[in-house]
């Protein structure tokens, strides 16, 4: 993993928190990067929406608010629905086996109560579906959006009843994709991510 990738991963996973200052000297030492490479990395991360660079103040990790996170999930719902439809059109035996393995792992981790690992398994399932879609533009756009909301991923799985609902929704997606039903897969994925957005919104603002 390059220094840039390690820095990006630390931000995405929340190891470097929102609003944290990214001092070139410190980043250079921590990630074994020359100062010039640090500056280039910060520019790339700014373009990805992960970093803000301010005149005379340097760079910091951009804080993403709850409402923005909801909007990103809504945008992902449209793009990942497309990806699910494409995956259903292209699915083969090997791809189906991979999806079923992801689903089984997700269910087993939920049953064991390991919600953090289950959250990672959830991400693996979505990544596998995206790969199987073969849609390069959707892949690029979705990866950019996901990098900004992964820090909210674990919060939604803590919403009461959400883990079981999430697994049922994943099962519906996998069954539609592996069964070769593009429209059903598209609808199931859209509904799943809109439900996730609703769970995040509900965790912020109490519903009447």
- 68-118 pLDDT per residue, tens: 889 999 999 999 999 999 999 999 999 999 999 999 999 999 999 998 889
Mean pLDDT of all residues in 117-139: 94
SS3 135: coil
CB 133 within 8 A of CB 90: yes
Mean pLDDT of all residues in 111-135: 93
pLDDT tens track for 42-57? 999 998 888 999 888 8
Which domain-ending residue is among 36, 61, 86?
Answer: 61
**Same structural domain for residues 113 and 31?**
no
At 35, is the pLDDT very low, low, confident or very high (cuts 50, 70, 90)? very high
**Same structural domain for residues 77 and 167?**
yes
**Same structural domain for residues 57 and 72?**
no
Task: Say if residue 122's pLDDT is above 50.
Answer: yes
**Same structural domain for residues 43 and 74?**
no
**Same structural domain for residues 36 and 126?**
no
pLDDT tens track for 149-208? 766 665 677 778 888 999 999 999 999 999 999 999 999 999 999 999 998 887 654 433
- In angstroms, the CA 136 to CA 150 distance is 21
**Same structural domain for residues 25 and 81?**
no
**Same structural domain for residues 53 and 92?**
no
Q: What is the CA radius of gyration of the chain?
A: 18
Indicate which CATH number applies to the domain containing 56. Answer: 1.10.10.10
Q: Angle CA(47)–CA(51)–CA(56) in degrees, nearest 5?
A: 105
**Same structural domain for residues 71 and 93?**
yes
pLDDT for residue 200: 85
**Same structural domain for residues 136 and 57?**
no
Indicate which CATH number applies to the domain containing 93. Answer: 1.20.120.530
Q: What percent of the chain has pLDDT over 90?
A: 67
At 144, is the pLDDT very low, low, confident or very high (cuts 50, 70, 90)? confident
pLDDT for residue 155: 66
**Farthest CA pair distance, the chain:** 56
> Rounded to 5 degrees, what are φ and ψ at 20?
-65, 135
pLDDT for residue 102: 97
**Same structural domain for residues 112 and 30?**
no
Which domain-ending residue is among 43, 61, 79?
Answer: 61
pLDDT for residue 69: 87
pLDDT for residue 205: 46
DSSP letter string, 154-196 = HHHHTSTTHHHHHHHHHHHHHHHHHTT-HHHHHHHHHHHHHHH
Range of the domain at 154: 66-204
Which residues have CB under 8 Å from 51's CB, separation 6+?
11, 22, 42, 45, 59, 60, 61, 62
The one-character DSSP state at 63 is P
pLDDT for residue 63: 87
**Same structural domain for residues 107 and 138?**
yes
Overall domain count for the chain:
2
**Same structural domain for residues 49 and 84?**
no
Helix/strand/coil percentages in the chain, nearest 5: 75, 5, 20
């Amino acid at each position: 993993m390059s220094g840039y990738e390690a820095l990006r991963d630390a931000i995405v996973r929340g190891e470097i928190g929102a609003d944290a200052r990214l001092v070139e000297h410190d980043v250079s030492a921590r990630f074994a990067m020359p100062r010039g490479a640090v500056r280039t990395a910060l520019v790339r991360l700014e373009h990805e929406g992960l970093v803000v660079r301010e005149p005379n103040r340097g760079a910091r990790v951009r804080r993403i608010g709850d409402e923005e996170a909801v909007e990103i999930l809504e945008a992902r719902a449209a793009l990942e629905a497309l990806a699910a439809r494409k995956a259903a059109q292209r699915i083969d035996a090997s791809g189906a086996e991979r999806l079923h393995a992801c689903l089984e792992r997700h269910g087993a981790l939920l049953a064991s109560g390991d919600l953090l690992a289950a959250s990672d398994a959830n991400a693996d399932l979505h990544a596998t579906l995206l790969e199987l879609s073969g849609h390069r533009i959707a892949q690029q756009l979705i990866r950019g959006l996901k990098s900004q909301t992964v820090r909210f991923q674990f919060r939604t799985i803590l919403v009461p009843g959400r883990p079981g609902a999430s697994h049922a929704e994943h099962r519906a997606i996998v069954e539609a994709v592996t069964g070769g039903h593009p429209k059903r897969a598209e609808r199931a994925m859209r509904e799943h991510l809109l439900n996730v957005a609703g769970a995040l919104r509900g965790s912020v603002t109490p519903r009447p």
